[in-house]
Structure 1
Amino acid sequence: MELYIFGFRPDSQPPAASQESTVATPVLQAKAIKLLWSSWCDAVIVHQDVAGSWSISYRGTSLTATQTDHLCQSAKIKDSLSNDVQTKVHFFGSAMHHGLGGYAISSTDSSESVDQITLFATDSEVEQGIPEVQSYPMSGTRKVTNIRVLSDETLLLSIQKCLTDEDKIASIPNIKQLRDRLSSGTSFPDPTHPPRASFIPTRWATNATTVTILDEEERVWTSTRDPRYPKCLGRPYEGTSDFELVPYLSETRIAKIASGGYMSAAVSNEGELFVWGQACPGSEGEPSVLNGNMESNQSTTGIYAESEQEEFVRCLTVKIEVEEAIVCDVAIGHGHILVAAELHGSVGEEKKVVFAAGDNSRGQLGLASVGEFVEDFVEVADLKGKRIAQLAAAGWSSFVVTADDI
């Protein structure tokens, strides 16, 4: 496998505007590679050598040397990589501010004492005397399986009842209050979002204004605390911050969700692609698929939205050489979007393309030049024919893990 990073690299300087790019080269090659966390300023990458051993790599500026050593040497995190059925690790933090804030480890095997939350103090917190690394075991009838930090610093916690394995959502105003609860042994708050017995979150995605969640029935729910941007919800604003179903997608089974900046996307089990949202405030442009300015018959290879669309969610047509392709993955950063698609021929031939659109000020689209906003989806030539194992994006960076070459 190979890892490519386009745009701002968390451990180096970004390319200058209008700088000509060279042919994309991987920054890492390994038997297996997974990106576990990314923000505008850092990334956590795990990779496996030919002997099957996992290593943790941190690239970025938000963690201190002590925090980085803890992360890269954590036996519990490494164990979770080889035992991903029984043990899960979820990283959390502020994607557009402080970066990585910590991680939660939870296990389905109650006999193992692995459940814990680890917090990484910021520079200002360290100056106040807070330890750089704080780890707290989870015990009792409830445990936290996932944490999301919203743009206003509110935390959303996925809380599991140990006796029922049922996840619900609760909120805490900020990291400080989470730390106070953990250090004092105070129980976690009762789940409050939303009061529906059937709502169990399985995947999360957040952007500047909105939280998007996929439930166990593969339906999409959204919530916002900032009603100024109703397009980001994918539905009309109902006047509350409660999670509500996205009506347009209510009858479609969704396999993947992604969110960043002021856009969100979903990929169905059949490989259909849906997007909603708007351009980032102050942006030089807006992807044309959001405003329906392009018809699907204008090119043979590309991604298009018909002019007649639902008010909020756009159902997109993805083509590779005239034929409609299926979408395998999607990732959204702060104003840019990447899409991986495949076309399966009648004689077993496969054609693989990565498309990109949006902000390219740092070269985050992986194109031949840096600087111009790209309104229409274009093909990333350096990735043509490569099988995509993972797409991710955050801030002004894009991360692509490929599984093989042409």
Structure 2
Amino acid sequence: MGSEARDSHAGKGRVMKLLVAGFNAHAQLDAQREGDVRAFGPVRGGPDDEHDVDVLFAGWSTTVLHSPTAGIWSLGHQKLGLAEGATMEKEAIKASPRPTCAFGDHNGLIGLLSEDGRLHWATQHSASRDNLLVSVTTDASPGVSHIAPAGNERVAVTFKQAPNGRLCHVVEFEDMEKFQTWYEDPSGEDNHPERHHMLPGRPKQLLANTATFALLMEGGEVYSWGDARHQSLGRSTTAGGDGVVSAEEPGVVEALGGLRIAKVASGGWMSAALSEDGALYLWGASMPGAERSIRCLREAGAGEVVLVDIPGGEEGEPLDVVDVAVGDAHVAAVTADHRLFLVGDNTNGQLGVDSEQQFYEDWTEVEALRDVHVQRVVCGPRATFTFVGSGYDSTQAT
């Protein structure tokens, strides 16, 4: 599954420090320490002189990073490198702007889509352990804008539209191999999508989690489809109802109707939506089958979307939210006053609160970051990355 950073780069142009906490068994967060990172500290292991670093992909065992000067590199299990004869491909990636879409799975980055519409695949080089970013775009390849692989191997894709286009085409494939075969030769006799959906509007974000897809349109509408268990679609799929859309087809999340949604985030069995006026909505389940659950989701019924209240405003008013990210079983939110709040699983320290407590059912603030101007947040499955401005002292990191 892809990193949620791929569709949002708030604060672009500002120099921000990247901090991280969470699962570090493969040294994918901090190459200079062993074990999990339970309190937020700098990402270490890339170019020494880097600042203004962004997260392209945050996976279970690999983190892929990008900067305007160093291009793309990785930490952890998967090694993105350069083998002899691959200079042209590597330099093309390094010189290009930040990719518009990056996606992967449990093993690491699968591919990325560059701004010029070319799809690059992370391909194992026979003479080394490195994975080379190799273009697989052919003259026949269709123009795609978003690629989202779910944890159950299904893949959804949206197409580029003309500037005045108002019809969004979404296609689905059983797995990544079938998508790539179709992409390289879409006219092949057996190379065709398993499903094809047509929706009004223009796509802004396409995300996947364990078994569902979420599509945000530029007009603010949110569609969901896939596996309807654990309230993961945020809408009713009961057969026979008037206007009810089946789980297999993209259906509007009606609870968000009339709201101007600016961003969606998804991970595990949960999804979140953030409105332009700072309201945060959440649906799904944090740890299906386990006794632990996020309090605000505990009483939610099938197809129900929950309006999240993060306390801390004046006279007890809930705080406005400006960014949100979702991991496998935790959620992170940045408030308008630049504070970071998290909730859910903390088994690997992914909440960054320097505590051995394994689960937080209520929102908790990372007080150590209260004065450092938190700007953005990105979640991996068991990790949280946050971008901070002035005030952070790297000498305090453990």
- If the length of structure 2 is used for normalisation, what is the TM-score? 0.77
Structure 2 CA distance for aligned equivalents of residues 282 and 291 of structure 1? 12
Structure 2 CA distance for aligned equivalents of residues 79 and 374 of structure 1? 42
Cα offsets for 1:311-330 (capped at 9, x unmatched): 61111223325343210111
- Residues 404 and 217 of structure 1, relative CA distance in 2, 3 Å threshold: same
Gaps spanning 5+ residues in structure 1: where? Answer: 108-114, 293-306, 343-350
Task: State whether residues 168 and 198 of structure 2, in contact with CA within 8 Å, keep that contact through their aligned partners in structure 1.
Answer: no
Aligned to 1:269: 276
- Residues 356 and 73 of structure 1, relative CA distance in 2, 3 Å threshold: farther
Q: Aligned-pair distance for 1:392? A: 0.8
Determine whether 1:194 maps to 2:197. yes
Structure 2 CA distance for aligned equivalents of residues 99 and 79 of structure 1? 22
Q: Which amino acid aligns with 2:198?
A: P
Aligned to 1:154: 154
Aligned to 1:4: 19
Aligned to 2:12: none
- Residues 352 and 202 of structure 1, relative CA distance in 2, 3 Å threshold: closer
- Residues 312 and 184 of structure 1, relative CA distance in 2, 3 Å threshold: closer
- Residues 186 and 270 of structure 1, relative CA distance in 2, 3 Å threshold: same
Structure 1 CA distance for aligned equivalents of residues 271 and 356 of structure 2? 24
Within the candidate set 308, 311, 320, 2:312 is matched to 320
- Residues 59 and 72 of structure 1, relative CA distance in 2, 3 Å threshold: farther
Structure 2 CA distance for aligned equivalents of residues 262 and 91 of structure 1? 20
Cα offsets for 1:331-382 (capped at 9, x unmatched): 111101111112xxxxxxxx43211111100000001213421111111112
SS at the partner of 2:100? strand
Q: Aligned-pair distance for 1:274? A: 0.6
Q: Which stretch of the first structure deviates more once superposed, 213-222 or 143-152?
A: 143-152
Aligned to 1:338: 332
SS at the partner of 2:177? helix
RMSD over aligned Cα atoms:
3.4
Q: Aligned-pair distance for 1:120? A: 2.1
Determine whether 1:104 maps to 2:104. no
Determine whether 1:219 maps to 2:221. yes
Q: Aligned-pair distance for 1:30? A: 4.7
Determine whether 1:35 maps to 2:63. no
Q: Aligned-pair distance for 1:217? A: 0.6
Task: State whether residues 168 and 200 of structure 1, in contact with CA within 8 Å, keep that contact through their aligned partners in structure 2.
Answer: no
Structure 2 CA distance for aligned equivalents of residues 380 and 37 of structure 1? 23
SS at the partner of 2:228? coil
Structure 2 CA distance for aligned equivalents of residues 262 and 134 of structure 1? 32
Q: Aligned-pair distance for 1:163? A: 8.6
Cα offsets for 1:11-33 (capped at 9, x unmatched): 557746xx9x5x63322685422
Q: Which amino acid aligns with 1:339?
A: A
Task: State whether residues 207 and 259 of structure 1, in contact with CA within 8 Å, keep that contact through their aligned partners in structure 2.
Answer: yes
Structure 1 CA distance for aligned equivalents of residues 186 and 303 of structure 2? 47
Q: Aligned-pair distance for 1:202? A: 1.0
- Residues 183 and 316 of structure 1, relative CA distance in 2, 3 Å threshold: closer
- Residues 181 and 142 of structure 1, relative CA distance in 2, 3 Å threshold: closer
Q: Which amino acid aligns with 2:361?
A: E
Within the candidate set 320, 343, 349, 1:357 is matched to 343
Q: Aligned-pair distance for 1:34? A: 1.6
SS at the partner of 1:74? helix
Structure 2 CA distance for aligned equivalents of residues 163 and 200 of structure 1? 10
Q: Aligned-pair distance for 1:182? A: 4.5
Task: State whether residues 222 and 243 of structure 1, in contact with CA within 8 Å, keep that contact through their aligned partners in structure 2.
Answer: yes
Q: Aligned-pair distance for 1:162? A: 6.0
Structure 2 CA distance for aligned equivalents of residues 256 and 40 of structure 1? 23
- Residues 74 and 404 of structure 1, relative CA distance in 2, 3 Å threshold: farther
Structure 2 CA distance for aligned equivalents of residues 172 and 367 of structure 1? 40
Q: Aligned-pair distance for 1:121? A: 3.8
Q: Which amino acid aligns with 2:107?
A: H
Gaps spanning 5+ residues in structure 2: where? Answer: 1-15, 238-244, 393-398
Structure 1 CA distance for aligned equivalents of residues 60 and 152 of structure 2? 17
Task: State whether residues 262 and 334 of structure 1, in contact with CA within 8 Å, keep that contact through their aligned partners in structure 2.
Answer: yes
The count of residues paired between Structure 1 and Structure 2 equals: 353
Q: Aligned-pair distance for 1:155? A: 1.7
Structure 2 CA distance for aligned equivalents of residues 31 and 248 of structure 1? 40
Q: Aligned-pair distance for 1:249? A: 0.2
Aligned to 2:354: 368
Structure 2 CA distance for aligned equivalents of residues 334 and 14 of structure 1? 22
Within the candidate set 89, 94, 98, 2:100 is matched to 89
Aligned to 2:92: 76
Please state which structure has a larger fraction of its residues in strand: 1
Within the candidate set 108, 118, 121, 1:119 is matched to 121
Structure 1 CA distance for aligned equivalents of residues 371 and 50 of structure 2? 19
Task: State whether residues 57 and 63 of structure 2, in contact with CA within 8 Å, keep that contact through their aligned partners in structure 1.
Answer: yes
Structure 2 CA distance for aligned equivalents of residues 43 and 70 of structure 1? 22
Task: State whether residues 274 and 314 of structure 1, in contact with CA within 8 Å, keep that contact through their aligned partners in structure 2.
Answer: yes
Q: Which amino acid aligns with 1:27?
A: V
SS at the partner of 1:75? helix
Q: Which amino acid aligns with 2:40?
A: A
Determine whether 1:291 maps to 2:298. yes
Structure 1 CA distance for aligned equivalents of residues 72 and 346 of structure 2? 29
